[in-house]
Amino acid sequence: MNFGGKFTPKTPRREKTNLSSSSDSEKVKDPVSVFCRLRNLRDENEASCIKLMSPTVLSLICPSESRVLRKDTHYAFKHIFTSYASQKEVFDHIAYPLLEDLLRGKNGLLFTYGVTGSGKTYTLTGDPYNPGIMPRCIDTLFNSIAEHQAQKYIIKSDKMNGFEVQSEADARDDCLHENRSTKSLRKKGSGDKVLYTNDGTSILGINERNLYSVFISYIEIYNNTVYDLLDESGGKVLQSKILREDSQKNMYVNGVVEQEVKCAAEAFELFNAGQKRKRMGHTLLNAESSRSHSIFNIRVVQLEQYVLNSNGERVIPAQNLLKVGQLSLVDLAGSERSNRTQNTGMRLKEASSINNSLMSLRNCMEILRENQINNGSRLVPYRESRLTHIFKNYFEGEGRVEMIVCASPSVLDYEENLQVMKFADIASDVKVVRPESRFTPYKTKASKSKPTVETPITKIKATAPLVFGPKIPLLKLNFENIDDSIGGIRNLVKIIQTRKQKSLLLNREINAKDRAFRKRLAEMNSEYTLKISELKSAQQQYKKEKKKSQNLEVKVLELEKMNDSLDSKNVQLVDSIRNLRCNLDEKDLKLNQNLMEREKQKQKMALKQEKMNQELDDKLRRQRDHLNAAMRAKEDKLKRVRDLLDEEHAVVVAATPTKSVVSEVSNNKPPVPHRSRHVAVANRRRSKSVGEVWLEHNSVKPVPLGTVMQPSMNKRKSVSKLSKASDITHPKQSKYCLIAQEADTDGEVETKVYKADILPTCGGGAQVIFNDVERLRQESPVGTPQKYT
């Protein structure tokens, strides 16, 4: 490539758009494309306030614990990505069309919006193994134009938002200056490279007749002040930048560093260098919260090389053209409420600035929508915030605008999500002018040849032969007429004198051209000497590189041998893995068989256990029936005995007076008539306690009665309270009795003994079956009854 001079492109002037003008209405407009991406819940058991109705519609559900109950509202998007959507799916659906427009010289804007911690930075950046939109855009861009890039510094920024084309010599000087510079961003960032996985995606159908150059810039807006993240002129302290308007009424950052990159690795180095200087902070809601709005700009400049004529031949165009496209990737800081983040001091000031800038963006959107719907001319307040001022060109000029709304479905973020969804609804109604690809012509300067990509064609004009004057006429002497001959001689002398004067003028001109030629030759000789020195240095460098290449080839051969050995080892390992897998499959098969056999044994044991339990239940039922029959027989016998004893004692009591009656007679007192009372002295039968161990449970301390018959329990254990299970489940205990004492309606004491059998259960416990009740009462026919205390 040979460029003879430096050229400045002139972008065609774009008239300022008025939303209410008739010329604007004739342009094709597209609405802002609004997408939504949902983040997964941090806790699976947490409730969600977002319900997906369709791939484009979601419902925002008001939680029941909210202070203000609202109706469920539906919001429509161009597409909704769930938490299971991959990074590549988001890139293919959103960013890939923007890259296609970028390579056609069109502008695009993509920004993420949402509450803090909703996944905005992850959507744009991702991680090295799962890259986001920005790394995929860079990889896809260089995958597409890798073989069609212009030489570095042929296209150069003019520091005023434009580009200029310079000669190859100037480009080489700039390259040497960059190699000698110690403050290069690329060198400073080469210590910790962060490369992203490249999936090889490329854009088809690019114009192969053009040469491409890629320029990167990275800025942030912190506390409503613009800073250049790639500017290291001020050291570690970032210097604030101002916004200016270029000749085409486009806003740009004055003095921003716009670095040309030739591969994806260089672009990632610039991005990582800027990320280290970007302001991040820790809040209660997000460990790494962006405290500023960051804008990553990618500009692609195309230079037209040649055109094809009707015969399909390459023809150098009469006027070279530049085509510039820009893609801005914006990571907006998340909106946050101070009552949730508990920010104070500087963090509170940052949050206030962030919320104010987002509110300015929302106000601009609302006024734009109102002007478009009502055909109004209300002034849009872009200058209220640096964020809205820098993107004024997209909303009132030409460009494609897309927005990704990131939302966290947690019920704790319901209020923030509500405001985000309202802003998305407003943005989807705003329309912007469809971008158009335009070439920018540039003209050659005086005394400079026109730049061409092909070998320059030298056009040689046909020059007329040197003429020293009038043509010398043919003279014939006529001695017969001397006068005519003399006149001819005089005319010849005049012609010769004229030619002599002409020759003198030509000699002076030739001498001047000779001196100019010698001067030019000396300059060319000095340039040639310089080129020779550069060539020698290049040859030395080539020899070094060649030697290095040979060493690398030797290393490659060694590595290939190592690779072959590793391949053989890998084959062996694969075989061993295959054998181990076979053994593992066999063991798994045996294990499954053992498990099946164990399951069968368990089933058999379960059946046996069930059968035994049923047999034991039948046996216990038969024993219970037998005991009940025996108890009924005993009760019948006891009833007959009790009746006999009652009759006998009734006769004895009627015949013999009590001690109180005798005393009264001896004291000459008249006997007091008393009711005839029966003293229950024989209504208790003896317990058969031979060979049995009783558990005597005295729930209350009984009042002693002076009766003749008392319970007989030779082997017993007395307790006042059942505090543990072992009191019942003791294997030697087979009988249980509960002694209770209470007063009847007349206030006389009655002792009851509840008797029971202790039977073991299948589960290892014991059950108490009551089968008898004995009552003991003492009555006096004449005395005062004993009260129960």
Give residues with Cβ within 8 angstroms of 260, minimum separation 6: 152, 153, 155, 156, 213, 214, 215, 216
**Contact call for residues 548 and 540 (beta carbons, < 8 A):** no
Backbone dihedral angles phi then psi of residue 155, each to the nearest 5 degrees: -105, 125
Distance separating alpha carbons of residues 773 and 775, to the nearest angstrom: 7
Distance separating alpha carbons of residues 305 and 776, to the nearest angstrom: 127
Q: Which two tokens stand for residue 331?
A: 């990571």
Closest CA to 195 of 268, 298, 91, 144: 268
Does 120 show up as a binding residue in the annotation?
A: yes
Distance separating alpha carbons of residues 221 and 290, to the nearest angstrom: 11
Does 116 show up as a binding residue in the annotation?
A: yes
Distance separating alpha carbons of residues 366 and 456, to the nearest angstrom: 56
DSSP secondary structure string for all residues of 593-635: HHHHHHHHHHHHHHHHHHHHHHHHHHHHHHHHHHHHHHHHHHH
Does 119 show up as a binding residue in the annotation?
A: yes
CB atoms within 10 A of CB 291: 21
**Contact call for residues 111 and 333 (beta carbons, < 8 A):** no
Bridge-based pairing of strands 57-60 and 73-76 is antiparallel
Does 118 show up as a binding residue in the annotation?
A: yes
Give residues with Cβ within 8 angstroms of 49, minimum separation 6: 60, 61, 62, 63, 409, 410, 411, 413, 414, 417
Backbone dihedral angles phi then psi of residue 322, each to the nearest 5 degrees: -115, 140
The single residue listed with the structure tokens 């080539």 is 542
Residue 537 to residues 181, 302, 541, Cα–Cα distance (Å) = 19, 32, 6
DSSP secondary structure string for all residues of 204-271: SS--TTEEEEEEEEEEEEETTEEEETT--TTTTSPPEE-EEE-TTS-EEETT---EEESSHHHHHHHH
CA atoms within 13 A on the CB side of 489: 9
Ranges assigned E (strand) in 437-560: 439-441
**Contact call for residues 435 and 108 (beta carbons, < 8 A):** yes
- Ramachandran region of residue 539, left (φ > 0), alpha (ψ -120 to 50) or beta? alpha
3-state DSSP assignment of residue 678: coil
Adjacent-strand bridge partners of 302: 212, 323
Distance separating alpha carbons of residues 697 and 532, to the nearest angstrom: 122
Q: Which two tokens stand for residue 212?
A: 């491409």
Does 117 show up as a binding residue in the annotation?
A: yes
Specify binding-site residues for ATP.
114-121
Q: Which residues are annotated as a binding site?
A: 114-121
